[in-house]
A = this chain, B = another copy of it.
Amino acid sequence: MFFVRANATGVEGSHASAANSPESAHIGDLRLGEPIIRTMEDFAAASGVSRPTVSKYFHDPGSVRKSTRERIEAALEQYDYRPNIYAINQNRQLTKSVGIIVPYLADPVFAEIARTLERRCIEAGFHATLFSSHGERKLESEALNDLRSLRPSGVLLAPLGRSSDRDQIARFCEEVPTVLLDRNIAGIGEAFVGSDNQSFVSQSVDYLTRTGEPPCFFEMRNPGNPNSLARHRCYIEAMEGHGLEPMLVQVEGEGWNLEEIGYQGGMRALQEHSFPTDTVLCSNDRLAIGLLAACYEKGLRIGRGSGCALRVAGHDDHPYSRFTCPPLTTVAHEYDLVSDCGAETLLRLIEAGGRFDDRTETLFSARLVLRASA
């Protein structure tokens, strides 16, 4: 199954004889005669400036005299000291830190959202700490607790949704200025930024009915995701708005393995001929990816051409939907815009002192992306 090579490089072993005391670990890279800099105290002594002045410098380099600044920066060159961010957070009245929580990092959409959020916060001079709930309520709670200890000036929270501990989130939001992202919880947090599910579904339904048979809706019977519930409702509304009968194809399954759920459910639906029309609109792209795999296995040709058996469309513009076979027609979740706006909203919130007078909800419209699958 596996094997172990000991000392495979043959070059090291240098630290094998080193003792465990923290000093000895540093003897290697210590030019003799130079002191070891661990704390701001040490660094202040080494640079010939008092510790509070050093503290002031790190808070705002422009707030100290030029000659002092130069001395500090000279010492900085030599010792590359950096203050302990967690000690700072413990003591500053208003931190330069923000927290980010996403429900599930293994979902590429959230991975992208997290990446953008982190970048924006860093660009604004903040230190960002990222947490993933990994789909588990317990881990979401842990993340909230950690964030409390971190004392961030603000938090961007994309909650798990149905399985969140609503009361705990509400309490957290009263303690820490929080912007909700992607999934709204009515009345909780200082603001919400997300997508307008109605514009998602109405666009896809409009397009599909205009260009062919009206779509049935392919979804999970018990989605953990509140956006799924909203899309379900919007589909029904949109169909009724066209004077059409809604057609639901619901698949079983729990958790976050949506491609697998879409595949299994798709196989079953195809075997049992449960699709009442030749057009399938999936609640999200991950289910669609699974369905496409099932269709391929069944030998069905997907697309809007004459030789095609089925049209398949999704929602979200998942990073991989460009690369499915055929490429997936979908409605883009503008997660870059949502992320940018979320980060910006949080920064405004922090500048405003942590509270807004009114709780705003910013919803981005979706953008239809036509590709070959429908």
Q: Which residues of A contact B (CB under 8 A)?
A: 1-9, 11-16, 18, 20, 25-26, 28-29, 82, 84-87, 89-90, 105-108, 111-112, 114-115, 118-119, 127, 129-132, 134, 145-146, 148-150, 171, 174-175, 186-188, 196, 259-260, 263, 289-290, 292-293, 296, 319-320, 322-327, 337, 341, 353-365
Contact = CB atoms under 8 A, between A and B. Distances in A.
How many monomers of this chain does the complex have? 2
Contacts of A150: 86
A154 to B, nearest CB: 13
B263 A323 contact: yes
B85 A259 contact: no
Question: DSSP majority for the A interface?
Answer: mixed
Given A7-B359, A187-B11, A325-B296, A149 B2 contact: no
A131 B128 CA distance: 10
A196 B3 CA distance: 9
Given A86-B86, A86-B150, 10 more contacts: A6-B360, A6-B361, A11-B186, A12-B186, A12-B187, A29-B171, A82-B145, A90-B90, A105-B111, A325-B325
Name the residue among A171, A174, A360 with the largest chain B CB count within 10 angstroms: A174
B6 A358 contact: yes
A292 B325 CA distance: 8
A142 to B, nearest CB: 8
A1 to B, nearest CB: 7
Contacts of A145: 82, 85
B2 A341 contact: yes
Contact of A5 (B11, B129, B361): B361
Contacts of A263: 322-323
A283 to B, nearest CB: 17
